[in-house]
Amino acid sequence: MGSPHGIQRLYLLAILVVAIISAGCGGGSGGSTTPPIDSDGDGLPDSTEATLGTDPGNPDSDGDGLSDGAEVNTHNTDPNAVDSDNDRIWDGEEITMFGTLPTVADTDADGMNDGEDPQPATANVAIPTQEYAVFTDDAFGGQRVQLTSTRFSENHVIYAPATASGAPFFIYQTYLADGAVSGATDGVFDEGDLPNSAIAIMNVDGTRPRLLTDLDPDGMRANNGAIDVTPEASPDGRFIIFASNRHEEPRAVQLRLYVMDIDGGNPVQLGFADNPPLPTELDSDPGWGPDNKIVFKREATNLANRFSRLYTATIDISTMTLSNVVERTNGTPGNLVFVPPGDYDPKLSPDGSLIASYRVLTNPAGMGNPADFGDWDLWVGRYSDPDQPAISSITFLDVDPSTANLFPRWDSTGTRLALWRTTPGVQPDPIDIIIFELDIRSAPFAVTLLNQTNITANSNWSESMPSWNTDPAEPDAIVYSAQR
């Protein structure tokens, strides 16, 4: 493909030739002209499409959301390329969602290309120093590929179910502005900026990011000021469940569970047939399994001493209501520095019979060490257990007070977990992705850790939040986010 300027000259020349031919081709006794044929009605005559190499039977030859005629006649973009300026954002979304220029890689001229920039249409005072990325790999650490490089975090990345419309693609959580719940800023765009969080999707090659939330009625990016976090897809690929405080005015942290269509349409707050949260409680960290089983976290927001508990429930899709809401885990209330003691981010195994989660009961030992999250221990338990909600109903794996094992995700076989681990004493790479291989027995129930593999050691990145591919053809593939 030639230079953008050369391509544009070719387009203009082709249009000029068509105009001259049309003007000179009289038809009929009155000297009238025959309009050029435009088979697909995209604003480009078939003869011009032949010159440009576009498809005269397809109004959007490259599928980027802009008609061929609009690309050539209005936007001066390449109708044969989805991303004319190679900034990671497709031409159509540049115009209709992000308000950026599809022929200028750095619309606001602040030193970050649009795909790297947390606010691509607003010149930032300074380029954030933190670098973020999304990687794919296999379960053995042998196929690592960096897909993105940004100055804002794209985390909680998961593969959309293989059955989802438009699959394969990634669903993830991102951050549109710098500002915490208190309004403070720190120069980075990450988990500290939850009021500016949004849920988005991107192609599995890291291109074409587009928002599912935080859009105005015209589909343009518009930060709604709400927390929209922890997206998880339904196993059938029709829906996304997430946590949000969008129902609150003024905004606080009374998170509730929402469901929207896989394309972001029709967001609905889930109702409760029984055991709803109190006004002083929040629900978050949902996991969705087969038969519309879910598991989620609930905790009080008005108590210094509290415990983050897990609940199980069933979704009625026809009414978007939760029933059979049962407390699954509980423990002794406490008051830790960052979060309450308790269980977090539970996920259901592929057959829905097991829960994987992790529990924290202590504060970090080194408060000034960013890799020291305290002692978080991963556990596995049955979806329903005679001893619940007591600690005897769960089985801890690899208990080590010097590490934090976080964010477990099941593979398609239900025998492996991908997680991320922080080990503050390990330098220079204290945060890595770990794969656990498990032996699970049903009678009597028992879970044993057979093997664990660090697949990102000494990578010069801090990796986190892994998730497995949902495509049966690639059962060993994983995706995760990273920063440095």
The pairing of strands 271-272 and 268-269 is unpaired
CA distances from 153 to 118, 121, 193 (A): 9, 18, 10
Predicted confidence band at 32 (pLDDT cuts at 50, 70, 90)? low
pLDDT digits (tens, 9 = 90+) for 369-415: 777 888 899 999 999 999 999 999 999 999 998 899 999 999 999 99
pLDDT digits (tens, 9 = 90+) for 226-255: 999 999 999 999 999 999 999 988 777 899
Q: Which CATH architecture has domain 132-483?
A: 6 Propeller (2.120)
Task: Please answer whether residues 330 and 322 qualify as being in contact, where contact means their C-beta atoms are separated by less than 8 angstroms.
Answer: no
Nearest to 133, CA basis, from 471, 460, 418, 477? 460
Mean pLDDT of all residues in 64-91: 96
pTM of the model: 0.90
Mean pLDDT of all residues in 1-10: 47
Task: Please answer whether residues 138 and 476 qualify as being in contact, where contact means their C-beta atoms are separated by less than 8 angstroms.
Answer: yes
> To the nearest whole number, what is the mean pLDDT of the chain?
91
Name the more confident of 7 and 42.
Answer: 42
Residue ranges per structural domain of the chain:
4-81, 132-483
- Identity of the amino acid at 379: W
pLDDT for 76 equals 95
Predicted confidence band at 50 (pLDDT cuts at 50, 70, 90)? very high
Query: Other CB atoms closer than 10 Å to residue 250's CB: what's the count?
Result: 6
Of the listed ranges 39-43, 90-94, 207-211, 294-298, the one predicted with least confidence: 39-43
Task: Please answer whether residues 298 and 283 qualify as being in contact, where contact means their C-beta atoms are separated by less than 8 angstroms.
Answer: yes
pLDDT(27) > 90: no
pLDDT for 29 equals 46
pLDDT(445) > 70: yes
pLDDT(4) > 50: no
pLDDT for 185 equals 86
pLDDT for 23 equals 43
Task: Please answer whether residues 7 and 14 qualify as being in contact, where contact means their C-beta atoms are separated by less than 8 angstroms.
Answer: no
Compute, in degrees rounded to 10, the torsion defined by CA atoms 162, 164, 167, 173: -100
